[in-house]
Amino acid sequence: MLKNRHIQGWLQASPLTLILIGFLILPIITIVVVSFWQATEFSIIPAFTLENYEFLFGSPVTYKVFFATFKYAVITWALTLAIGFTVAYYLAFHIQNQTTQIALFLLCTIPFWTSNIIRMISWIPFLGRNGIANSMLQSWGVIDQPLEWLLYSDFSVILAFVHLYTLFMVVPIFNTMTRIDHSLIEAARDNGASGFQTLTHVILPLTKPGIMIGTIFVLTLVMGDFITVRFMSGSQKANVGRLISNDISLLQYPSAAATAVILLITVLIVIGILLRFVDIRKEL
């Protein structure tokens, strides 16, 4: 019976299927189910209610927070794309020696050997009112008063996001760039294209899948984040992740689940739209 190609195929796919069912599908179903339950201070009552969603959609804070989440995501995306593309371009086309290329690429990953949280928190003493940045600017005479917006503001949140997630843009873009056939670039040059024209007409279209993968990484990471927003804004700002984490710490699981469901749907829609632009499968 095992000879049957059909069964063999199913058997080969089954470990992954089981893992996905157990660790992805079931938890999501649970979250959806719980989001329709009632809760008291510390017990969850499995009785159907729409109250969680009513409260969520009924509160102006929800819309504000979703807007803030998109704001963080879009700004971070634009900045990481600009930096990530430039770094990847430099690595892929300006460094001719492959050893140097790999060495420099590894150099980019060094900060990632430390914990996410450490990299984030190290900004706090740097940006603080009496921090290194402010005292430096003051000693140079650039400013008289310390800049308050450096820390515990949208600025510090986005700064940390960009710092944390740029590599997720660099890696996929660099990867697709190294696969571009150099003869294509030569052909462009032979046909009289300027450097900029080559960039926009040859390199950019060919790196689209890399950009798209990087975009998905950055958007999902930023939209699902809560700890960066909490620390870098000194708990002053909120995104959807913080809404969920606050709910959880206050034992409001059904309410947290409802918010999570809405966030999940939102992120899926965003990714769905992105995939309309580029067929990743085909391009890879």
Partner 1 sequence: MSKMRYSRRAVLKGGAAAVAASTLPAPMVWAQEIKDITLRQFGTGVSNLNDVANKVKEDLGFTLEMTALDSDSVTQRAATQPDSFDIADIEYWICKKVWPTGNLQAMDTSKIANYDKIVGIFRDGKLTPESTIAQGTAPHTVGFVDGPGGTSFADEETGWMTLIPTIYNADTLGIRPDLIGRPINTWAELLNPEFKGKASILDISSIGIMDMAMVCEAMGEIQYGDKGNMTREEIDKTMAIFTEAKKNGQFRAFWKTFDESVNLMASGEVVIQSMWSPAITAVKSRGIECVYQPLKEGYRSWGGGIGLSSSLSGMELDAAYEYINWYLSGWVGGYLMRQGYYSAVPETSKNFMTENEWGYWFEGKPATDVITSPTGDILAQAGDTRDGGSFYDRMGSVACWNAVMDENQYMVRKWNEFIAS
Provide the binding-site residues for partner 1, judged by CB under 8 A.
Answer: 40-43, 55, 59, 61, 64-65, 117, 124-125, 128-131, 148, 151-152, 227, 230, 233-236, 238, 242-243, 246-247, 249-252, 255
Minimum CB separation from partner 1 for residue 41, in Å? 6
Three-state secondary structure call for residue 216 = helix
Question: From CA 240, how far away is CA 61, in angstroms rounded?
Answer: 10
Q: Which residue has the tokens 């058997």?
A: 11
8-state DSSP, 92: I
Residue nearer to partner 1 on the CB measure, 1 or 118: 118
* Least distance from partner 1 to the Cβ atom of residue 80, Å: 24
Cβ distance to partner 1 smaller for residue 31 or 124? 124
**Nearest distance in Å: CB 36, partner 1:** 18
Give how far Cα 162 sits from Cα of 70, 102, 229, Å. Answer: 15, 23, 12
Distance between CA 190 and CA 211 in Å, rounded? 27
CB of 125 vs partner 1, minimal distance in Å: 7
d(CA 119, CA 113): 10
For partner 1, give the closer residue by CB, 128 or 224: 128
User: In this structure, what token pair is assigned to residue 252?
Assistant: 């409001």
Nearest CB to partner 1, comparing residues 125 and 205: 125
Nearer to partner 1, 20 or 61 (CB): 61
Shortest CB 63 distance to partner 1, Å = 11
Structure tokens at 223: 């939209």
